[in-house]
Chains A and B, each alone.
Chain A
Amino acid sequence: MSAFTIERRGGVAIVTFDTPNESVNKISKAVGWEFEDLLGRLAADEPVKAIVLRSGKPDTFIAGADIEEFVQLRSVEEAVRLSRDGQLLMQKVADSPKPIVAAIHGACVGGGMELALACHYRVASDHPKTQLGLPETQLGLLPGAGGSNRLPRLIGARAALDIILAGKNERAKKAFQLGMVDELVPESILLDTAVAAAEKLARGWKRPRKARSTGAALLDGTPLGRLLVYKKAREAVTAKTGGHYPAPLRALEVVRTSLEHGMQRGLEEEAQAFGELAMTDVSRRLVEIFFATTALKKDDGVPAGVARARKVRRIGVVGSGFMGAGIAGTAALNAGVEVRLKDADLARVGKGLKAATDILAARLKRRRLTPQEYQRLRGLLSGSGDFTGFAGAQIAIEAVFEELAVKRQVIADLEASVPSDVILATNTSTIPIQDIAAGARHPERILGMHFFSPVEKMPLLEVIPTAQTSAEAIVTAVHFGRAMGKTVIVVADSPGFWVNRILSPYLNEAGFLLEEGVPIETIDAAMTDWGFPVGPVALLDEVGLDVGEKGGKVMHQAFGERLAPSKVIAAMRGDDRLGRKNGRGFYFYQDGHKTGADGSVFQLLGVRPAGEVDVARVQDRLVFAMLNEAAMAMSEGVVRTPRDADIGAIFGIGFPPFRGGPLRTLDAMGAAEVVARLERLESAHGPRFRPAPVLEEMARTGGRWYPADGR
């Protein structure tokens, strides 16, 4: 079956792109051949004077190139050829003697954007779903079908680099302002407008050029101005990627070559860069993560068909502190559900409502919400000092103080106040759900939903069923978490679940390093160099030392000496240091901003800060503490699949994406090497580094977490 159908309106051929049996249009090799063939036929078709290209899919124009094909690539040459083929197809579009107009509604990204760029005119719908961009660098690649050359020519170096280097998508209105599209119209007249434009172009009408401001003309329009643009872009990219991601810098070079030495050389370099980038481990890892998150979006956490998610229209949140308010605001913002916030007294409820409303207000301020949308979403948030409104909710989430007795009491109160089909979720970071559910009348509707703080920013959610939790409750919680905008993994009810389990030995190890006098900045810099967004000591400050202490105790109790905490946190707590929340931690804080490391921890510990430290050894100790624990947790079945484990680590604690997650990292090193290094650490630092039995087993058998073909 063909992906393209043609319909004629006067002298205009309307080509509808609608890949059969797919939810979105993608540009694959096969689609490319068919489109090329179609262009040839239309060129020879005398009555056809102009062409309009549109999508038959409801909310996407073209979602990009078929990434499955990237994975098949086995050599740089092969990848260069793929890019070359794409460039040639786009060149045919650009060279078409009959003008081609893109009528864009829905996502127009990656290869789809490159195709639109090759067209002679672009009309976009002003619909919120219409987004245009070149996200290739997010996959460690660059736009390889002419996009790196055409976008800067269309909208100038500055704006184009802004999009290409960050791998950004812009909403239709912004895209129009930038000049990525020529016209912005309501969806209802999109096709008519595109056809009218096609007819005019066929009669020889020229597309008007967007006038540039003086500043833009100076920066984008002169070689010297562009030199400044390139310099600024390079600085920004280097600061952001820490040198771990090669794609943005390559893309910058390609754009530069294209603008300074012409499109011919630009295209050559684009294909070469694409080919080389496609073969990097970084790109492989990023593509794997892309596939993993896509697959996770379809994984309900229970076998398919076992249960269906209930539609969630209202949730209740018990506890209006930082966590509860974060859940409330994020649920209203992203899931659009009614939220009832409950706390012991109304003043606390009010504070929580304010904090939740502030999450919306921040979006309003950044113009991600219109004032009207803001007002409507604000109306979703309300609260009271009792369980009023909870009876009509589908999910009630408790986010009270992290103390088993308190949480049990809340569950008991909820059971007394809401019908037996309301799902009761407990937001805990360490307490086993089965302990909280013990004694409940309806344990089948109780599960854990472990959000990370701040809820509106952190992308991960761990859903934790107990042995008794019903499949319907699990599926509903997973779907609801996704509606809140979270990446959801379903993990076992084991202390620390997944994320805090592997974080625990890592943070402990940071404490041991401090005990030995390793400076705070050295530890944190070692890990940011390794690719983490923040170092472990700074992370302790963020999490809060009280929370860290409590969590550390739970993990110690559950797993014994291996996870015994260092003395550091107790010492800090003794000095009334809670971290960022009270402005006293391992770092100094001024008006909520971190200003520098506070060395007084070493006085508290009575050690002298070390001078020379071997950064590689610091990294080794921290990384292997985490990797070893990850292997152990995996062998216990804490996480269902290596995919969930890696995604959880990346989205939950910022494990460096270019490394693909802890299990990908283990696979990359090989179990034998891992075991050997763990044994060295064990002999130097003690039995906490004893290799996980599963790793020893793998070392013997040559086992891996993922199949050897990479997928």
Chain B
Amino acid sequence: MLPPSPGRRAVVVAGLRTPFAKAGTVLQDATAVDLARHCTRELLYRTELPGDEVDEVIYGQVVPSPLMPNVAREVSLLPQLPRTVPAYTLNRACASGAQAICNAADQIMAGHADVILAGGVETLSDVPILHTRKFSQILAAASKARSLGDRLGLFAQVRPRDLVPVAPAIAEPSTGESMGQSAEKMAKENRISREAQDELAVMSHQRAAAATLDGRLALEIAPWFGGRGMDQIVDSDNLIRSDTSLDALAKLKPVFDRRYGSVTAGNASPLTDGAATTLLMSEEKAHALGYRPLTAIRAYAVAAVDPAWQLLMGPAYAVPIALKRAGLSWNDLGLVEIHEAFAAQVLSNVQAWGSADWSRRLGLPAVVGEVDWDRTNVMGGSIAIGHPFAATGARLVTSLSHEMARRDVQFGLISICAQGGMGFAMVLERVG
């Protein structure tokens, strides 16, 4: 154990999220701003934090609406806050929420801020659909055209194929490989069986269902007033299936390689809508305002691999760096949260950390550690709960912080894989 870090500590005081919902279902009419504002406002009320204590809002969003590119500022313009709270939105792909929290922690430790709201939001029901480049250029030119004739001339150039809308795909721009294809590739190269993947998925659902039933997840959710009459209450995540079984999952067809594949809709995280916000403070400020903080941000690390190799292997590298920065070893960890983009990816990461052979192959200095599933993803993970990209990091920080407090665990780890071959790891420490 290292001596305590000098100077200021950034602590997690509270966190709250919307229910996570399958894209196109109960949250489909809400905008990202609606969702982000809802859980942030409710967090302010639950903590009774005076709005004028907030120094900054940092939010993550991976697929922002071009009409509302800085969702963080829209959150900081909640009428419960002064209009003078600065805000920015960042994009570290699926680690955006975690990155927002770590940026907040950095600002707090640097003494630039005392109170920051940090989180993330995604509405995959509301992805921007674009025109083709050519049609956009014609529209732009037409808006500047001097006469009706010029305008008609421009539109005469439009061909039917120019009118086909362009939707963003979840694919790597550098390789053209979709996220699912990458997971499929990793399953094959790392020899992750279909059964192992499905088992992880079943565990995820069962644990999430149990945590919903015993109220641990409900505690983190600000109920949503849904429907036209606002009287359809959504107070839990609608993707969790307590009745999922290995048999049921085994019936699903692989999506990305129909003949030899093993990645199915059942062992991958679904497209999800949701938002999550955490309240971070300097430890001093938290005590001055009378809060009992849950955890402190002890360390974090980001790493990246060549996207053309194993796209989701970033955590294999990020985790040992974060542990080193925290001055801890794997065995100091009482709880671990691994973001489940795909079961194949989780099991690949786990294998990389735990096997001497794999750590040699990956060029890691030593074996990182053996995952103990009794202490890992104890309330389920993204496969069951859902994965609104940028919101996931903030969900994990809140969930882990609460569970560390409940179990009185001293150290906890969060691991997140992200687009672009990136991996993100964060170490939380119990305080108070």
Residues of A within 8 A of B (CB): 336, 338, 340, 346-351, 353-354, 357, 376-377, 379-380, 382, 384, 388-389, 391-392
- The verdict on B369 contacting chain A, using a C-beta distance below 8 Å, is no
Nearest neighbor of B33 in chain A, beta-carbon distance: A375
Binds A, one of B38-46, B109-117, B169-177, B331-339: B38-46
Residues of A within 8 A of B230 (CB): 350-351, 353-354, 357
Q: How far is the CB of A711 from chain B (nearest CB, A)?
A: 43
Q: How far is the CA of A357 from the CA of B231 in the complex (A)?
A: 13
- The verdict on B48 contacting chain A, using a C-beta distance below 8 Å, is yes
Nearest neighbor of B235 in chain A, beta-carbon distance: A346
A350:B232 contact, CB within 8 angstroms = yes
Q: How far is the CA of A226 from the CA of B41 in the complex (A)?
A: 56
Residues of B within 8 A of A350 (CB): 225-227, 229-233
B48:A351 contact, CB within 8 angstroms = no
Nearest neighbor of A354 in chain B, beta-carbon distance: B230
Q: How far is the CA of A350 from the CA of B232 in the complex (A)?
A: 8
Nearest neighbor of A332 in chain B, beta-carbon distance: B79
A388:B223 contact, CB within 8 angstroms = no
Q: How far is the CB of B327 from chain A (nearest CB, A)?
A: 39
For B37, B227, B231, B232, the residue with the greatest tally of chain A CB atoms inside 10 Å of its CB is B231
For A353, A382, A388, the residue with the greatest tally of chain B CB atoms inside 10 Å of its CB is A382
A351:B79 contact, CB within 8 angstroms = no
Residues of B within 8 A of A340 (CB): 45
Given A346-B235, A377-B79, A380-B79, 6 new contacts (CB under 8 A): A351-B229, A351-B230, A354-B231, A357-B230, A379-B41, A389-B48
Q: How far is the CA of A336 from the CA of B80 in the complex (A)?
A: 11
B231:A379 contact, CB within 8 angstroms = no
Task: Identify B231's interface contact among A336, A351, A382, CB under 8 A.
Answer: A351
A391:B48 contact, CB within 8 angstroms = yes
- The verdict on B69 contacting chain A, using a C-beta distance below 8 Å, is no
Q: How far is the CA of A384 from the CA of B41 in the complex (A)?
A: 12
Residues of A within 8 A of B77 (CB): 376
For B41, B48, B79, the residue with the greatest tally of chain A CB atoms inside 10 Å of its CB is B79
21 CB-based A-B contacts, threshold 8 Å: A336-B79, A338-B79, A346-B223, A346-B233, A346-B235, A349-B225, A350-B225, A350-B226, A350-B227, A350-B229, A351-B229, A351-B230, A351-B231, A354-B229, A379-B79, A379-B80, A382-B41, A384-B42, A384-B45, A388-B46, A392-B50
Nearest neighbor of B234 in chain A, beta-carbon distance: A346
Nearest neighbor of A382 in chain B, beta-carbon distance: B41
Task: Identify A392's interface contact among B42, B48, B232, CB under 8 A.
Answer: B48
Q: How far is the CA of A348 from the CA of B231 in the complex (A)?
A: 7
Q: Is the interface of B mostly helix, strand, loop or mixed?
A: loop
Q: How far is the CA of A354 from the CA of B79 in the complex (A)?
A: 18
Residues of B within 8 A of A336 (CB): 79
A347:B46 contact, CB within 8 angstroms = no
Residues of A within 8 A of B48 (CB): 389, 391-392
B45:A389 contact, CB within 8 angstroms = yes
Task: Identify A338's interface contact among B80, B227, B229, B233, CB under 8 A.
Answer: B80
Q: How far is the CB of B242 from chain A (nearest CB, A)?
A: 22
Q: How far is the CB of A342 from chain B (nearest CB, A)?
A: 11
- The verdict on B78 contacting chain A, using a C-beta distance below 8 Å, is yes
Q: How far is the CB of B244 from chain A (nearest CB, A)?
A: 28
Q: How far is the CB of A337 from chain B (nearest CB, A)?
A: 9
B45:A388 contact, CB within 8 angstroms = yes
Q: How far is the CB of B228 from chain A (nearest CB, A)?
A: 8
Q: How would residues 215 to 245 of chain B score, 1 for a CB under 8 Å from any chain A CB and 0 otherwise?
A: 0000000010111011111010000000000
Q: How far is the CA of A389 from the CA of B49 in the complex (A)?
A: 10
Residues of B within 8 A of A (CB): 37, 41-42, 45-46, 48, 50, 77-80, 223, 225-227, 229-233, 235
Residues of A within 8 A of B225 (CB): 346, 349-350, 353-354
Q: How far is the CB of B221 from chain A (nearest CB, A)?
A: 12
Q: How far is the CA of A334 from the CA of B321 in the complex (A)?
A: 55
* Among all A-B residue pairs, the 4 with the closest Cβ atoms: A389-B45, A350-B225, A350-B230, A354-B230
Nearest neighbor of A353 in chain B, beta-carbon distance: B230
Residues of A within 8 A of B233 (CB): 346-347, 350
Q: How far is the CB of B2 from chain A (nearest CB, A)?
A: 40
Given A382-B45, A388-B46, A389-B48, answer yes or no on A347-B79 (Cβ-Cβ < 8 Å).
Answer: no
Q: How far is the CB of A613 from chain B (nearest CB, A)?
A: 46
Residues of A within 8 A of B80 (CB): 338, 379
Nearest neighbor of B49 in chain A, beta-carbon distance: A392
Q: How far is the CB of A405 from chain B (nearest CB, A)?
A: 27
Q: How far is the CB of A411 from chain B (nearest CB, A)?
A: 21
Q: How far is the CB of B230 from chain A (nearest CB, A)?
A: 4
B37:A379 contact, CB within 8 angstroms = yes
Residues of B within 8 A of A392 (CB): 45, 48, 50
Residues of B within 8 A of A377 (CB): 79
Q: How far is the CA of A347 from the CA of B231 in the complex (A)?
A: 4
Q: How far is the CB of A684 from chain B (nearest CB, A)?
A: 53
Residues of A within 8 A of B231 (CB): 347-348, 350-351, 354
Given A340-B45, A351-B229, A389-B48, answer yes or no on A376-B79 (Cβ-Cβ < 8 Å).
Answer: yes
Q: How far is the CB of A343 from chain B (nearest CB, A)?
A: 11
A379:B78 contact, CB within 8 angstroms = yes
Q: How far is the CB of B30 from chain A (nearest CB, A)?
A: 13
Q: How far is the CB of B387 from chain A (nearest CB, A)?
A: 26
Residues of B within 8 A of A354 (CB): 225, 229-231
Q: How far is the CA of A357 from the CA of B77 in the complex (A)?
A: 19
Q: How far is the CB of A329 from chain B (nearest CB, A)?
A: 13
Q: How far is the CA of A663 from the CA of B79 in the complex (A)?
A: 45
Q: How far is the CA of A556 from the CA of B20 in the complex (A)?
A: 56
Q: How far is the CB of B68 from chain A (nearest CB, A)?
A: 11
Q: How far is the CA of A9 from the CA of B79 in the complex (A)?
A: 43
Q: How far is the CB of B294 from chain A (nearest CB, A)?
A: 19
Residues of A within 8 A of B226 (CB): 350
Q: How far is the CB of A313 from chain B (nearest CB, A)?
A: 9
Nearest neighbor of B42 in chain A, beta-carbon distance: A382
Q: How far is the CA of A377 from the CA of B77 in the complex (A)?
A: 11
Q: How far is the CA of A348 from the CA of B230 in the complex (A)?
A: 9
For B50, B230, B231, B233, the residue with the greatest tally of chain A CB atoms inside 10 Å of its CB is B230
Q: How far is the CB of A418 from chain B (nearest CB, A)?
A: 11
Q: How far is the CA of A193 from the CA of B335 in the complex (A)?
A: 69
Q: How far is the CB of B225 from chain A (nearest CB, A)?
A: 4
Nearest neighbor of A376 in chain B, beta-carbon distance: B79
Q: How far is the CA of A388 from the CA of B47 in the complex (A)?
A: 9
Nearest neighbor of A385 in chain B, beta-carbon distance: B223
Residues of A within 8 A of B235 (CB): 346
Q: How far is the CB of A92 from chain B (nearest CB, A)?
A: 47
Residues of B within 8 A of A380 (CB): 79
Nearest neighbor of B50 in chain A, beta-carbon distance: A392
Nearest neighbor of B229 in chain A, beta-carbon distance: A354
Nearest neighbor of A314 in chain B, beta-carbon distance: B80
Q: How far is the CA of A347 from the CA of B77 in the complex (A)?
A: 27
Q: How far is the CB of A683 from chain B (nearest CB, A)?
A: 57
For B45, B77, B223, B227, the residue with the greatest tally of chain A CB atoms inside 10 Å of its CB is B45
Q: How far is the CB of A438 from chain B (nearest CB, A)?
A: 30
Residues of A within 8 A of B46 (CB): 388-389
Q: How far is the CB of B29 from chain A (nearest CB, A)?
A: 14
Q: How far is the CA of A379 from the CA of B75 in the complex (A)?
A: 10
Residues of B within 8 A of A353 (CB): 225, 230
Q: How far is the CA of A292 from the CA of B232 in the complex (A)?
A: 47
Q: How far is the CA of A538 from the CA of B209 in the complex (A)?
A: 55
Residues of B within 8 A of A357 (CB): 230
Q: How far is the CB of B18 from chain A (nearest CB, A)?
A: 13
Q: How far is the CA of A548 from the CA of B230 in the complex (A)?
A: 31
Q: How far is the CA of A669 from the CA of B10 in the complex (A)?
A: 77
For A347, A353, A376, the residue with the greatest tally of chain B CB atoms inside 10 Å of its CB is A347
Nearest neighbor of A389 in chain B, beta-carbon distance: B45
Q: How far is the CB of A371 from chain B (nearest CB, A)?
A: 12
Nearest neighbor of B223 in chain A, beta-carbon distance: A346
Nearest neighbor of A351 in chain B, beta-carbon distance: B231
Residues of B within 8 A of A389 (CB): 45-46, 48
Residues of B within 8 A of A376 (CB): 77, 79
Residues of A within 8 A of B229 (CB): 350-351, 354
